[in-house]
Structure 1
Amino acid sequence: MSHAASGHSAHFTVDTSEVLLVALYLRDCAGLQGTGLPALPPLFPAVRRVATRQLTRAVGGRATLRVEWEAWWHTLLAHRVGDAVLPLPPHFEALDGMAAMKALLRAHFGTAMAWAEERCAEYALRVGARGADSMDRLLGRILQERELELGRPARPFTLEVIELPLAGRRAWWVEPDTLLICQDLFDDEGSVRSYVEPIIRVLA
């Protein structure tokens, strides 16, 4: 889903991310909440926590697992999220150099993938129910309002909006061009605007 603004100067993409869903599932099932930047709230519905001591004891334990998850999370958000590569068996090459993360994923890959696929299916139903381009239209309106204030077209920019099933109603701007947003936040246009308008003001 995308929106091209006036003069094709701005482009929005709005979607969820299977890779981020898998990463957050692993974070929560390993009890690593509060890890990474931005430190997102727990998934909703909550994920059952599992024991990781036996899995990671030979490769650095829980402390190493936390450091490796943070490094992976940073890598995922350092580039366009839509281009992120999902670590796949048997070697999980996307996590090379992260033995503790590979051990965790090897043990829980099937469960993590099944959970992420369910959330993606639910997201598709949610988007269908509210209108596939409804978020795009809202972003487009906010941009047009900013262009009227400026008296000129917006500067060229791209904003990637990633909706995630997180507890609460918040959003996090990962500079320069990614916005992570709780799915339920969309139900409150005023709250969406409170997060998006300052970003558009900077980018446009």
Structure 2
Amino acid sequence: MDTCGPMLMALYLRDVAGLVGAGNPSLSCVAPSVTAADHAMLTAGVGGNDALRDQWEIWWGRLLQNFPDNQQNLTPPEFPELAGMPALQRVAHAHYGAALTWSREQARLYSLMAEQRETLGGHKILADLVQNREMELGRNARDFTLIIVEVPLAEQRAWFIEPNRLIMSSHLLDDQDIFRSYVQPVVELLV
């Protein structure tokens, strides 16, 4: 379980661009919320909002595929990570400072929350889910890896991404029953 700086940046840019429902899976808006801006003039010469949505979805797909590689950070001022995506580069250029500040603050808050969980044993529920599944099956778990990326989302839920990843609201673990409802089926699949 961890968060991901590049994904935080991507979600900020998605929300500031007003790309509601973009991406696969389509995650809820971030929390705290980000005010959307109109980018029609900014992206008009490079394909407009349709191109912006397509380019963001390509970038998001790369981030999902490459996690936990945090080397996907945006590099201003040219943003070579977004090469061939001129609409997205323009939005990134316009909002880079705010996106960086927001994502760093969210990463800091996540660190504090993770430390508190470690101290209080809040993450123990994952081990319990695996142990319960082993008892049901009457055998030890197969070797498996479950990668959980926690991001600050308005909707308290998790999204499964095959073969072994979950994107999860960073406060989902606060409600262990809801957490269990999303994570237990994935553990059953992997164990």
TM-score, with normalisation over the residues of structure 2? 0.94
Q: Which residue of 1 aligns with 2:35?
A: 48
Asked if the contact 2:117/2:123 (under 8 Å) is kept, the reply is no
- Alpha-carbon offset, residue 129 of structure 1: 2.7
Match of 1:154 in 2: 141
Change in Cα spacing, 1:33 to 1:84, as seen in structure 2 (3 Å) is farther
Offset, 1:36: 0.8
Instruction: Tell me the residue number matched to 1:168.
Output: 155
Distance 1:134 1:172, change over 3 A: farther
Structure 2 counterpart SS, 1:163: strand
5+ residue gaps in structure 1? 1-13
Q: CA deviation at 1:89?
A: 1.1
Contact 2:6 2:70 in 1 (8 A): no
TM-score normalised by L of structure 1:
0.88
Q: Distance in 2 between matches of 1:107 and 1:43?
A: 19
Aligned match of 1:76 = 63
CA contact (8 A) 2:14 2:20 kept: yes
1:84 offset after TM fit, Å? 5.2
**More relative contact order, 1 or 2 (CA 8 Å, 6+ apart):** 1
Identify if the C-alpha distance between structure 1 residues 186 and 59 changes in structure 2 by more than 3 Å, giving closer, same or farther. Answer: same
Does the residue aligned with 1:162 lie in a helix, a strand or coil? strand
1:87 matched residue in structure 2? 74
Matches of residues 1-204 of structure 1 in structure 2 within 5 Å? 14-83=1-70, 85-131=72-118, 134-204=121-191
Distance change (3 Å), C-alpha of 1:115 and 1:175: same
Post-superposition shift, 1:149?
1.4
8 Å CA contact 1:76, 1:84 repeated in 2: no
Give the 3 Å change call, closer, same or farther, for CA 38–84 of structure 1 in structure 2: farther
DSSP 3-state at the match of 2:139: coil
Letter in 2 for 1:145: N
Distance 1:96 1:135 in 2: 41
CA distances 1:25-48 after superposition (whole Å, capped 9, x unpaired): 000001001111111111111101
Unaligned runs of 5+ in 2: none
* SS of equivalent residue, structure 1 residue 131: helix
Report the CA distance between 1:69 and its aligned residue.
Answer: 0.6
Pick closer, same or farther for the CA change 1:158–1:30 going to 2, 3 Å: same
Question: Judging changes above 3 Å, is the alpha-carbon distance between structure 1 residues 170 and 18 closer, same or farther for their aligned structure 2 residues?
Answer: same
Q: 1 CA distance for matches of 2:168 and 2:126?
A: 13
Separation in 1, partners of 2:99, 2:120: 29
For residue 76 of structure 1, what is the amino acid of its counterpart?
L
CA contact (8 A) 1:168 1:184 kept: no
Shift of 1:132: 5.3
CA distance in 1, matches of 2:120, 2:21: 32
Instruction: Kindly state the Cα deviation for residue 51 of structure 1 after the two structures are TM-superposed.
Output: 2.1
